[in-house]
């Protein structure tokens, strides 16, 4: 460095230009953080609404992550893309990621439907790895959505990748990632077969729990219908009321 300039690749870059670029990168990354914050708020509202109105929520929990600048640059180099902010915005669509974990497979599609109904969200792409699992057994529903971020001087439309899974799918994916990391991507063939078998077992568990949930719901609905049938209608001062028939019998005997 000499006289407020930095020697980078044998070129003298003014320090002010470097500071300006640093501020631009910082602001660029902030928009992705704000987009994640926006998505987490939306998910939390949906979760609380369902819990309050239905005493049940299809959303178990969420986890967000933001790629580091180093990871982004490495991906650009690996994919042979230009290293620029415009190149990042065009080619790297998973800088901001949000994982949504659900109890049942049907909940995954319920959450997707709710998000698609959000007027300010634009769904750019959907990859259904539940209906069409990857060859290694990976299952999840991926949505790429565009989120508006309102800054002081402009509105940015930022991509966020959503991964919606069941608890079993998330458990398998997390362990599979740890195993691959331990073996530095070079996993022995026999372990790959066992991982695929474990993914199939997790899928069978999901289907079994879904079936049990439907059976329990059917029993509850039948019970509610039976209670409804036991209610009898009476009219008092021109108003209609429904009360248990057994209470009417007791009143009639008194």
Catalytic residues: 161
Helix axes 189-230, 167-182, angle to 10 degrees: 170
- End-to-end C-alpha distance for the chain, whole angstroms: 101
Helix axes 189-230, 105-116, angle to 10 degrees: 80
Bridge partner list, 148 = 157
Nearest to 101 by CA among 175, 173, 169: 169
134: CB partners within 8 A, 6+ apart: none
| Total Cβ atoms within 10 A of residue 49 | 12
**Distance between CA 242 and CA 230 in Å, rounded?**
9
**Distance between CA 58 and CA 56 in Å, rounded?**
7
E strands within the chain? 5-8, 11-14, 59-66, 96-102, 122-128, 141-150, 155-166, 231-236, 239-244
**Distance between CA 185 and CA 114 in Å, rounded?**
36
33: CB partners within 8 A, 6+ apart: 66, 96
């Amino acid at each position: 460095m000499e006289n407020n300039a930095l020697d980078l690749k044998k070129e003298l870059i003014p320090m002010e230009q470097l500071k300006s670029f640093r501020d631009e990168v910082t602001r660029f990354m902030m928009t992705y953080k704000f987009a994640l914050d926006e998505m987490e708020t939306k998910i939390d509202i949906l979760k609380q609404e369902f819990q309050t109105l239905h005493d049940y929520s299809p959303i178990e929990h969420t986890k967000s992550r933001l790629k580091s600048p180093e990871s982004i640059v490495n991906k650009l180099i690996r994919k042979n893309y230009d290293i620029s902010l415009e190149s990042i915005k065009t080619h790297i669509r998973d800088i901001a990621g949000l994982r949504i974990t659900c109890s049942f497979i049907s909940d995954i599609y319920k959450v997707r439907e709710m998000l698609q109904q959000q007027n300010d969200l634009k769904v750019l792409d959907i990859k259904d790895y539940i209906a069409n699992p990857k060859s290694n057994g990976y299952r999840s529903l991926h949505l790429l959505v565009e989120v508006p971020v309102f800054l002081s001087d402009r509105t940015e439309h930022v991509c966020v990748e959503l991964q919606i899974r069941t608890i079993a799918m998330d458990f398998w994916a997390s362990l599979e990632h740890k195993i691959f990391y331990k073996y530095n991507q070079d996993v022995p063939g026999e372990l790959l077969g066992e991982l695929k078998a474990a993914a199939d077992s997790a899928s069978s568990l999901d289907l079994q729990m879904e079936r049990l949930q439907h059976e329990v719901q059917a029993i509850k609905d039948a019970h509610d219908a039976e209670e409804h049938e036991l209610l009898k209608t009476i009219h008092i001062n021109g108003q209609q009321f429904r009360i248990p028939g057994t209470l009417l019998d007791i009143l009639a005997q008194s």
